[in-house]
Structure 1
Amino acid sequence: MKGESSTNPVTVELGHGPNIDPIAARDEARLNEIGYAQEFKREMSAAGIVTISFTAIGILTGMSSAFQSGLTAGGPLGLFWGWNVCSFFMFLIALSMAEICSAFPTAGGLYYWVCRLRPQSKWLGFYTGNVYAWAMVFTGTSGLLSAALYMASALEVAGYTLTRVEIAAIAWGFCILSGFVNSGGSKLVGRIATFASWWTLGGTVVLVVTLLVKAPVKNDAHFVFFDFENYTGSIAGSWLVGVVYLLALLFSIQSITSIVNTGYSLPICQLFYDAAGPHLSILLIVVVLVAQASAAMTAWTASSRLFFALSRDQAFPHKKIFMAQNRYDVPYYGVWLSVVVGCAICACYIGSVVAFNAILSAAAISVLLAYGMPIMCRVLYPSGLDGYHGPFRLGKFSWAINVASLVFIVVMSIFFVLPTSHPTTALNMNYAIVAIGGLIVLVSLQWIFWGRKVYDGVIHTFVEPLALTPQAVEDDTKHL
């Protein structure tokens, strides 16, 4: 039957007793209010959630991996000012999404928000959920292969050269390790994220101090803030995080040409080698490697929950399989689907680096597109949150912030599919448009031949939503 759920809707009463956490009870009541029974353990502290977010941002990892692209497409000028512009607009996007998340705090995330903001357009929620789920799979894969490339670079500095097959094998090992970590529950993921956040902070200090102390030549301020370099024929903004780390990198560059023409698996390692020498550069590479692997693992935490939410609502096939949970309350089939697909994508690296890069470039675009869907709903249908506002509200600035965020997403999505080099050839062509187009085609076929017949929007698992009034919360807290 259309819209049928294998999860029986339940009526839940807030528990009372000396061992009940009043904050957890309030959160569960809020979940009940929007139509859901709690299905996952609340094992992660607020600090753990913050550290996962901090780790996923990837101050060391994202900047290190993308450093060459920004350096060759705009030089220090593009890197430094690109960081400031992008950070400002990403902050606006974060504000826009925080307001929606505050109203609808569910496992489905962006998918659920679009379904609630625009229930008339069921296809929009279907597309958003599926595109974002696969974007998280691609993002995790990208990070784990980058970790393998950092390991290869460290070995290259030490005098060992790995083949693509060996690098792919290392990536497969990281993928499988990530599968086991994510199968261990949110508490384990939270602990790793906490470790990774402190590692990132400490690693940033180590990198900054080492580069600035050991670099034979320190660049002047004019080079860092105003020097323009263009080795590609195109100008592109750089999406970089961590101005302190960025400044240390820019002040420590010994030769842009050396970085562009490096023989190492990742160009940033050439900068480390030039500035700090062979022994310290291995240390710096390992610092980024550990941060990279830890950050990548959190992406599959998100993808597995998305597959759970989508299958629950008949937006993803094999409902019983992808809603199944292990003893740690983890939807483990979604985790291992991410592992299998991640290993398959890493195998593409063996045959063609260009094809692999196209698939992973699609991750950034698909994430942006998914972010844009709920924000677009807020721009076109601003009354969608009426009656459902959470504790965080943007007030009179809400519509303007959402418009600015949406414009930035559209502009960046266009930039991401433009050629990155001129003249453009078959070897340097940006095939991201092919990869993202392929993903959209696959989701479209899923919708046409299956989804539109069985998908009828979100399925609530709570029969009698509780009205979470201030008085109700106060009365319940007194019992606690």
Structure 2
Amino acid sequence: MAEILKPDGKPTAPTADSNLEALGYTAELSRNRSTWQVVFMCFILASVPYGLSTTMSYSLIGGGSANMVWGWILVSLIMLCVAVSLAEITSVYPTAGGVYYQTFALSPSWCRRASAWVCGWSYVAGNITITLAVNFATALFFVECLNVFEDASGAGIAENFQTYQTYLIFVAITFICHAIPAFANRWLPWIEYFAIFWTVIGVTAILITILVVAHNGRRSAEWVFTSFEPQSGWPDGWSFCIGLLQAAYGLSATGMVTSMCEEVRKPAIQVPRAIVGGILLNALAGAAFLIPIAFVLPDIAMLAQIPSAQPVPTIVKSATGNSAGAFCLLIPLIVLGLICGLGCATATSRATWAFARDGAIPGSTWWKKVDRFTQIPLNSLLLGMVIELLLGLIYFGSSAAYNAFSGVGVIFLTLSYACPVIVSLLLRGRQDLQRGSFNLGPLGSFCNVVCIGWCLLAIPLFSMPTSAAVTKDTMNYASVVFVGFVLISALWYWVWGRKNYVGPVLEPLDT
């Protein structure tokens, strides 16, 4: 690339677009986000109060209050190590391809194509299934919120909803969460600003109300931090680990924001800061949300048996003693769920688009296009929506479908995050990170080891059924969805990839 000179004859500082060209791509997206906007997007992608609310059954079944509180703290520290690991690498390779591009760029030539293929498919599949999990959880959560109102017999008014009714609610939510990013992309940063204030005000109202009213009394601090009442039937240690899925799901979006690298002005600086800052912000928000709720938990065994696996509406109603009041307090979480769906759909479309422009997805010619009118990868956005709607049909076969969506999303994203870290640490000795603006040296190496260890634990852990007594409705179908995506990617590699896939265009590293 020719060097650009200032009027005084001195070279200009490289721009984000020129750096992107050096990495092998032409800038096609508008760079309209600031550092804080990326941090806020990290917060929205996680939407911690909402995410923890829709997956609270995992920790309650796993061990109750202690599992919920200490599991969150443990996973937050682990995910901080993951965030640091990704931030270091992103400061060197800031593209919308995220961990997929980074894995390709860091890998030696003998394994470059295969490692990037595995990472790319894991990353795209993780984005799609996490978006699906978010939207499906919003549907289940909304139905359970309706159940705070009871009929004359004392049953929730939506307790007898048919499967198709819940699915139709999911379809409506999915359409909304994809239509807004499609036609109002320029307004998304403002929606994220709104979400921050909405979260603070709404969650504060929930926590103050339930603690002050505490209709059925408050638990002691000793009970909150030490009570361990596993309901899973597994041995205590394994039960605690399975309960970690609540926290892992809440923080699973850690690296998804790397897909926005081509929409910020200084991605090599802004995005790494946002990844780490987002984790710290979410960790504090999660602790501030979970601990007050733990003080007003009703009977753990009763909460673990709720058919929808959505205990928070029951908890809020128990604490307030009033159906209308409980529903009003739950509205902020419902809205936050919708906003989280917007952020996840946006990030998923960018990840799919970035992978498609290297020809790695069947029909890449369609999915790599940037729509001239909306100025976003609209086709990729629609592809993600269609796949999510189709996978949602699993719910007709099992009421435990949400376990599959949330579990496999965490598995895929964790695997994709670990791929560039494994290559950087074990095959390259972290030598490429010397060029980055975010290099923590020995501390970074420690974080890399933790990141890899977490991946090795998460894959088998979150494929396991929540309860030891496995039935059609308690079976964890995450492994089925996981194997399905693996088979599709392997088949496409055999049919097309092994002869045609070359990966991103970049200057080769020393091998």
Which TM-score bucket, shorter chain as reference? 0.7 to 0.9
**Counterpart check, 1:391 vs 2:442:** no
**Counterpart check, 1:91 vs 2:66:** no
**Counterpart check, 1:188 vs 2:187:** yes
CA contact (8 A) 1:224 1:251 kept: yes
Q: Which residue of 2 aligns with 1:423?
A: 469
CA contact (8 A) 2:463 2:479 kept: yes
Superposed CA deviations along residues 184-240 of structure 1, whole A, max 9, x for unmatched, are 364322222222222122222112111111212010011100011011122133243
Distance 1:405 1:127 in 2: 17
Q: Which residue of 2 aligns with 1:130?
A: 121
Q: Which amino acid aligns with 1:26?
A: T
2:302 to 230, 239, 258: 258
Q: Which amino acid aligns with 2:229?
A: E
Superposed CA deviations along residues 226-274 of structure 1, whole A, max 9, x for unmatched, are 0110111221332435111101110011222332233666222111111
Q: Which amino acid aligns with 1:254?
A: P
Aligned CA distance change for structure 1 residues 34 and 284 (closer, same or farther; 3 Å)? same
Distance 1:42 1:395 in 2: 30
SS at 1:233's partner residue? Answer: coil
Q: Which residue of 2 aligns with 1:321?
A: 366
C-alpha deviation, 1:86, in angstroms? 0.7
Aligned CA distance change for structure 1 residues 355 and 219 (closer, same or farther; 3 Å)? closer
CA contact (8 A) 1:207 1:245 kept: no
Distance 1:86 1:287 in 2: 25
**Counterpart check, 1:380 vs 2:426:** yes
Q: Structure 1 runs of 4+ off > 4 angstroms?
A: 11-17
2:497 to 419, 442, 451: 451
Superposed CA deviations along residues 145-195 of structure 1, whole A, max 9, x for unmatched, are 111122212222234323221221111111111221221364322222222
Distance 2:131 2:311 in 1: 21
Q: Which residue of 1 aligns with 2:311?
A: 267
Aligned CA distance change for structure 1 residues 420 and 258 (closer, same or farther; 3 Å)? closer
Comparing 291-300 with 417-426, greater Cα deviation is found at 417-426
Q: Which amino acid aligns with 1:227?
A: S
Aligned CA distance change for structure 1 residues 261 and 419 (closer, same or farther; 3 Å)? closer
CA contact (8 A) 2:127 2:351 kept: no
Q: Which residue of 2 aligns with 1:6?
A: none
- Return 5+ residue gaps in structure 2 as ranges: 151-156, 248-282
**Counterpart check, 1:233 vs 2:223:** no
Aligned CA distance change for structure 1 residues 310 and 275 (closer, same or farther; 3 Å)? same
Q: Which residue of 2 aligns with 1:38?
A: 27
- Return 5+ residue gaps in structure 1 as ranges: 1-10, 464-480
C-alpha deviation, 1:362, in angstroms? 1.1
Q: Which residue of 2 aligns with 1:75?
A: 64
Comparing 273-282 with 380-389, greater Cα deviation is found at 380-389
CA contact (8 A) 1:51 1:197 kept: yes
C-alpha deviation, 1:388, in angstroms? 6.4
Q: Which residue of 2 aligns with 1:66?
A: 55
SS at 2:400's partner residue? Answer: helix
CA contact (8 A) 2:366 2:379 kept: yes
**Counterpart check, 1:244 vs 2:235:** no
CA contact (8 A) 2:88 2:433 kept: no
Q: Which residue of 1 aligns with 2:258?
A: none
2:17 to 25, 28, 32: 28
Q: Which amino acid aligns with 1:136?
A: N
Distance 1:198 1:298 in 2: 16
SS at 1:417's partner residue? Answer: coil
SS at 2:462's partner residue? Answer: helix
Aligned CA distance change for structure 1 residues 84 and 447 (closer, same or farther; 3 Å)? same
C-alpha deviation, 1:139, in angstroms? 0.8
Q: Which amino acid aligns with 1:152?
A: V
Distance 2:122 2:92 in 1: 22
CA contact (8 A) 2:181 2:188 kept: yes
Distance 2:213 2:58 in 1: 25
RMSD: 2.3
Comparing 314-323 with 123-132, greater Cα deviation is found at 314-323
CA contact (8 A) 1:93 1:402 kept: yes
1:5-404 equivalences under 5 Å are: 26-120=15-109, 121=111, 122-159=113-150, 160-161=157-158, 162-184=161-183, 186-216=185-215, 217-234=217-234, 235-237=239-241, 238=244, 239-240=246-247, 242-262=286-306, 266-276=310-320, 277-326=322-371, 327-383=373-429, 385-386=431-432, 389-404=435-450
Q: Which residue of 1 aligns with 2:259?
A: none
Aligned CA distance change for structure 1 residues 16 and 138 (closer, same or farther; 3 Å)? farther
C-alpha deviation, 1:319, in angstroms? 2.9
Distance 2:76 2:451 in 1: 12
Aligned CA distance change for structure 1 residues 314 and 328 (closer, same or farther; 3 Å)? same
SS at 2:240's partner residue? Answer: coil
Q: Which residue of 2 aligns with 1:5?
A: none
Q: Which amino acid aligns with 1:131?
A: S
C-alpha deviation, 1:376, in angstroms? 1.1
C-alpha deviation, 1:355, in angstroms? 4.2
SS at 1:115's partner residue? Answer: helix
Aligned CA distance change for structure 1 residues 279 and 383 (closer, same or farther; 3 Å)? same
CA contact (8 A) 1:68 1:259 kept: yes
**Identity over aligned residues, as a percent?**
25
Distance 1:387 1:221 in 2: 45
Distance 1:49 1:16 in 2: 31
CA contact (8 A) 1:151 1:286 kept: no
CA contact (8 A) 1:321 1:333 kept: yes
Length-normalised TM-score, structure 1: 0.87
Superposed CA deviations along residues 29-87 of structure 1, whole A, max 9, x for unmatched, are 33233333222110122221111101112211121111111012111111111111111
Comparing 442-451 with 311-320, greater Cα deviation is found at 311-320
C-alpha deviation, 1:15, in angstroms? 10
Aligned CA distance change for structure 1 residues 173 and 14 (closer, same or farther; 3 Å)? farther
C-alpha deviation, 1:451, in angstroms? 1.1
Aligned CA distance change for structure 1 residues 64 and 12 (closer, same or farther; 3 Å)? farther
